[in-house]
Amino acid sequence: MSGGVLRNSTEEVPVVQKGDSVLSVQDLRTVFHTQDGLVHAVNGISFTLAPGELLGVVGESGSGKSVSMMSLLKLLPMPPAEIVEGSVHFGGRDLLQLSDAELRQLRGGDIGFIFQDPMTSLNPVFNIGFQIMEPLRIHMGMNKKQAADRAVELLELVGIPSARQRLRDFPHQFSGGMRQRVMIAIALACDPKVLIADEPTTALDVTVQAQIIELVKGLRQKLGMAIVWITHDLGVVAGIADKVAVMYGGQIVEYSDVASIYSDPRHPYTQALLRTLPTQEGGRTGRLVSIPGQAPNLNAPPAACSFAPRCEHVGPKCWAANPPLFDIHGQHSSACWLESEGGTA
Amino acid sequence: MSAEVINKEDGSRAPAGEKSKAATILKVSDLKIHFPIHKGLFRKRVGEVKAVNGVSFEIKQGETLGLVGESGCGKSTTGRAVLRLYDPTAGEVIFEDRDIAALSAEEMRATRPRMQMIFQDPQACLNPRMTVGSIIAEPLVEHTSLSGQQRREKVMELLEAVGLNADYVNRYPHEFSGGQRQRIGIARALALDPDFIVCDEPIAALDVSIQAQVVNLLEDLQRERGLTYLFISHDLSMVRHIADRVAVMYLGKIVELSTVEKLFDDPKHPYTQALLSAVPVANPEIEASRERVILTGDVPNPSNPPEGCVFCTRCPVAVKKCFTVPPVWRELNPDQFVACHLVE
Ligand SMILES: Nc1ncnc2c1ncn2[C@@H]1O[C@H](COP(=O)(O)OP(=O)(O)OP(=O)(O)O)[C@@H](O)[C@H]1O
Ligand SMILES: Nc1ncnc2c1ncn2[C@@H]1O[C@H](COP(=O)(O)OP(=O)(O)OP(=O)(O)O)[C@@H](O)[C@H]1O
Ligand SMILES: [Mg+2]
Ligand SMILES: [Mg+2]
DSSP string, A179-214: HHHHHHHHHHTT--SEEEEESTTTTS-HHHHHHHHH
* pTM of the predicted model as reported, rounded to 2 decimal places: 0.87
If you average pLDDT over residues A318-342, what whole number do you get? 90
Cβ atoms A335, A323 nearer than 8 A: yes
Residue A4 pLDDT > 80, yes or no? no
Cα separation, B235 vs B238, in Å, equals: 5
Residue B304 confidence (pLDDT) = 87
Q: Name beta bridge partners: A85.
A: A29
Could A278 and B238 be called an inter-chain contact, meaning their C-beta atoms sit closer than 8 Å? Answer: yes
**Backbone phi, then psi, for B283, in 5-degree steps?**
-155, 110
Residue of B nearest to A173 (CA): B35
Ligand 1 touching residue B122 (CB < 6 A): no
Cα separation, B276 vs A168, in Å, equals: 34
Ligand nearest to the CA of B206: 1
Cα separation, A126 vs A279, in Å, equals: 43
Tens of pLDDT along B56-96? 999 999 999 999 999 889 999 999 999 998 989 999 999 98
Residue A116 confidence (pLDDT) = 84
CA distances from A152 to A128, A156, A162, A214, A246 (A): 11, 6, 9, 19, 37
Residue of B nearest to A81 (CA): B175
Please list the alpha-helical segments (H only) found in chain B.
Answer: 75-82, 105-111, 132-143, 148-161, 178-190, 208-225, 236-242, 260-265, 270-277, 284-289
Which atom of ligand 1 lies at the shortest distance from residue B182's CA? Answer: 26
Tens of pLDDT along A128-173? 999 999 989 988 889 999 999 999 999 988 888 888 888 999 988 8
Residue B6 confidence (pLDDT) = 38
Give residue B313's region: left, alpha or beta (phi > 0; psi -120 to 50): alpha
In angstroms, what separates the C-alpha of A341 from chain B's closest C-alpha? Answer: 30
Cα separation, A176 vs A119, in Å, equals: 8
Selected for mutation to probe chain B from A2, A36, A40, A61 (highest B CB count within 10 Å) is A61
Which atom of ligand 1 lies at the shortest distance from residue A65's CA? Answer: 21
Cα separation, A301 vs A322, in Å, equals: 10
Tens of pLDDT along A272-287? 999 888 765 545 567 8
Residue A19 confidence (pLDDT) = 55
CA distances from A268 to A9, A172, A259, B322 (A): 48, 42, 17, 53
Best residue among A29, A36, A38, A39 to mutate for probing ligand 1's pocket (most ligand atoms within 8 Å of CB) is A39
**Backbone phi, then psi, for B57, in 5-degree steps?**
-165, 165
In angstroms, what separates the C-alpha of A6 from chain B's closest C-alpha? Answer: 17
Tens of pLDDT along A80-132? 999 999 999 998 899 999 998 888 888 888 999 998 877 677 888 899 999 99
Could A162 and B303 be called an inter-chain contact, meaning their C-beta atoms sit closer than 8 Å? Answer: yes
Could A208 and B71 be called an inter-chain contact, meaning their C-beta atoms sit closer than 8 Å? Answer: yes
Could you give the dihedral angle defined by the CA atoms of residues A202, A203, A204 and A206, in that order, rounded to the nearest 10 degrees? 50
Ligand 2 touching residue B80 (CB < 6 A): no
Q: Which of residues 53-112 of B touch A (CB under 8 A)?
A: 68-72, 76-77
CB burial class (10 A; 0-12, 13-18, 19+) of residue A105? Answer: middle
First vs last C-alpha separation in chain A: 52
CA atoms within 13 A on the CB side of A5: 16
Out of A1, A59, A262, the one facing B284 most closely (by C-beta) is A262
Residue A290 pLDDT > 80, yes or no? yes
ipTM given for this complex: 0.83
DSSP letter at B304 equals B
Could B201 and A176 be called an inter-chain contact, meaning their C-beta atoms sit closer than 8 Å? Answer: yes
Residue B7 confidence (pLDDT) = 37
Residue B173 confidence (pLDDT) = 87
Could B177 and A61 be called an inter-chain contact, meaning their C-beta atoms sit closer than 8 Å? Answer: yes
**Going by C-beta distance under 8 Å and a sequence separation of 6 or more, which residues neighbour residue B123?**
A117, A119, A120, B173, B181
Q: How, if at all, do strands B253-259 and B330-333 pair?
A: unpaired
User: Is B297 or A255 the better-scoring residue by pLDDT?
Assistant: A255
Contact list, A290 vs chain B (CB under 8 Å): 209-210, 212-213, 216
CA pseudo-torsion sign A241, A243, A246, A250: negative
Residue of B nearest to A116 (CA): B178
Buried b (16+ CB within 10 A) or exposed e, B38-65: eeeeeeeeeebbbbbbbbbbebbbbbbb
Cα separation, A40 vs A84, in Å, equals: 10
CA pseudo-torsion sign A232, B246, B272, B76: negative
Residue B174 confidence (pLDDT) = 85
Cβ atoms B198, A137 nearer than 8 A: no
Ligand 1 touching residue A66 (CB < 6 A): yes
Residue A285 confidence (pLDDT) = 61
- Averages of pLDDT over runs of 10 residues in chain B (344 residues) are 38 45 89 87 81 94 95 93 91 91 86 88 80 90 87 90 85 85 89 92 86 88 91 92 95 95 93 89 82 74 90 92 94 92 88
Cβ atoms A245, A56 nearer than 8 A: yes
Ligand 2 touching residue B73 (CB < 6 A): yes
Contact list, A119 vs chain B (CB under 8 Å): 121, 123-124
Contact list, B69 vs chain A (CB under 8 Å): 205
Cα(A41) to centroid of ligand 1, in Å?
7
DSSP letter at B91 equals E
Per-chain mean pLDDT for chain A? 87
User: Is B344 or A311 the better-scoring residue by pLDDT?
Assistant: A311
CA distances from A232 to A21, A276, B173 (A): 26, 12, 21
Q: Which helix (H) or strand (E) holds A234?
A: helix A234-240
